[in-house]
Homo-oligomer: A and B are copies of this chain.
């Protein structure tokens, strides 16, 4: 094991590297790297057990660098979670710590946080949940270097102020001199010995430490030094340490990494079993499907934000209590925890009301950059069709939000059968998947023999005489079918398409239909921007778009659907216009 002198010298080497590399690139955050150099040296060259030859190993300690901006992204195999938007690293760390525990891997998780970034409320959501779940395999190290980007932080070097918060949130907390290698080691030893609580190490550090004209000076955030005189002056002070420290492969008690499960979406256990005409809400079907999935694939996990009796993830919790994480009313953290679970090979389903997923948009955005193997978000209670609870509870922008995540898949089933099918599809589709579920009970439209695919659609009504194509999804499929019946009475035929795959959308079917019928109408329980209508318009098909255009109020679902102009009557009027 390296001695403290070697670790101290390594810290200087890390400082030198931060300066030279950022100067070469012309961008980066050297002064931030310089405040946590001792911490990084001790973590990587002394504390953490990992295999330098295998970034994919699971029975190893894990490191999350929460404040790291700009870079890095998972283009590097060692970086499984992209950071750069602050206050998100601790949530991911909580997810990783939970995954280790679920898989009985006695590894430890280390998260370095910036002091400035701990103003983010998401840090305190993560802290609360970590303490509640007694994650004693988790260590947070606060690099309290006093300076933010545009001035000092609120607490500056008030270490007791920081300690009080972590203790109040249920953590074991110690403060240290963050540039003292022996104090760092001792604090990490203490953390390891502490059972039943995670540990926060509040490290007093100085931004730009090691170079007199940088140390503890404002206005150097995110600024590389200019190559030449400025850089050389700094490097002269740092020195050019030649220390090397071999890092042996070490594991967390040698537990073998668990194999990931696999499953087929066509597995008989996953088949929906609804009687024809059964009235079941898609959210309820989702809840049932998640349990079935849980049975065929041990990697599936469920998360919820204190609405599990509304999203029906309570069924998954009852069936698999060890694979369910109740995140309480803290959606940002739920999204980050889900990403952490995903990075550990889990297939997380994170659910809440669609409108509350907007609380986690930055985390969802960052997840998109992280490109997880599997990460599913489920939003229920969408649109005006939720009824009486009113606008604050209505998801009206969730299709747009998830469509805007580059590489995402967005599925929006209309009935219980397709809801179960797309839930299974979601677990089999790489990357970020969004499932949109409705509140009201609806009749089944499909049978277990119907197939559903990403990028597909279902044509529910079609004839050679169709004067218009109505493209709907979710609750509006039923309105379109009612409109079909009303128009049939007048001898007018329309085509009805259930566009359950909003992204990618079934371009071929839509183009063909648009060509064959004179008019294209889209109808969605969602506002216009970025929704189903704009997705169809983006194909160049110029639809008449029916959607929610005013802030809704409280009312009965049927009244609101009428008010919003997305009802059967509105569809009929659009066909005839």
Interface residues of A (CB under 8 A from B): 25-27, 69-71, 73, 75, 82-87, 116-117, 119-125, 128, 132, 148-151, 153-154, 161, 164-165, 167-170, 304, 306-310, 314, 326, 328-333, 355-356, 358-359, 361-362, 365-366, 368-369, 371, 387-393, 396-397, 400-401, 403-407, 503, 527-531, 533-535, 537-538, 540-543, 545, 548-551, 553-554
CB pair A149–B25 under 8 Å, yes or no, is no
CB contacts (< 8 Å) of A165 on chain B: these are: 165, 168-169
CB contacts (< 8 Å) of A307 on chain B: these are: 149-150
Q: Would you mind naming 7 contact pairs between A and B with Cβ atoms under 8 Å apart?
A: A119-B328, A120-B359, A121-B332, A148-B329, A361-B361, A529-B535, A541-B542
CB pair A527–B406 under 8 Å, yes or no, is yes
CB contacts (< 8 Å) of A535 on chain B: these are: 529, 534
**A27-B387, A116-B329, A397-B404 provided; 19 other pairs, C-beta below 8 A?**
A27-B388, A69-B392, A87-B329, A120-B329, A124-B124, A149-B306, A149-B309, A161-B170, A164-B167, A355-B362, A358-B362, A358-B365, A361-B401, A404-B527, A406-B550, A407-B551, A529-B534, A530-B531, A537-B538
Copies in the complex: 2
Give A1 Cβ to nearest chain B Cβ, in Å.
Answer: 35
CB contacts (< 8 Å) of A403 on chain B: these are: 400, 529-530
CB contacts (< 8 Å) of A530 on chain B: these are: 400, 403-404, 529-531, 534
Q: A69-B393, A537-B534 are in contact. Are A306 and B116 (CB under 8 A)?
A: yes
CB contacts (< 8 Å) of A86 on chain B: these are: 329
CB contacts (< 8 Å) of A366 on chain B: these are: 392
CB pair A123–B120 under 8 Å, yes or no, is no
Name which residue of chain B comes closest to A365, CB basis: B358
Q: A83-B392, A85-B392, A540-B537 are in contact. Are A369 and B551 (CB under 8 A)?
A: yes
CB pair B314–A150 under 8 Å, yes or no, is yes
Whole-angstrom CA separation of A153 from B328 in the bound complex: 8
CB pair B362–A306 under 8 Å, yes or no, is no
Give A342 Cβ to nearest chain B Cβ, in Å.
Answer: 16
CB pair B545–A538 under 8 Å, yes or no, is yes
Of the candidates B83, B308, B400, which one forms a contact with A150 in the assembled complex, judged by CB atoms under 8 Å apart? B308
CB contacts (< 8 Å) of A391 on chain B: these are: 73, 82, 84, 369
Name which residue of chain B comes closest to A86, CB basis: B329
CB contacts (< 8 Å) of A70 on chain B: these are: 388-390, 392-393, 554
CB contacts (< 8 Å) of A545 on chain B: these are: 538
Give A258 Cβ to nearest chain B Cβ, in Å.
Answer: 29
Most B CB atoms within 10 A — which of A86, A148, A530, A535? A530
CB pair B388–A25 under 8 Å, yes or no, is yes
CB contacts (< 8 Å) of A122 on chain B: these are: 121
CB pair B73–A328 under 8 Å, yes or no, is no
Query: 7 shortest A-B CB distances, which residue pairs?
Result: A121-B121, A84-B392, A530-B530, A403-B529, A540-B542, A27-B388, A168-B168
Whole-angstrom CA separation of A271 from B533 in the bound complex: 40
Name which residue of chain B comes closest to A26, CB basis: B388
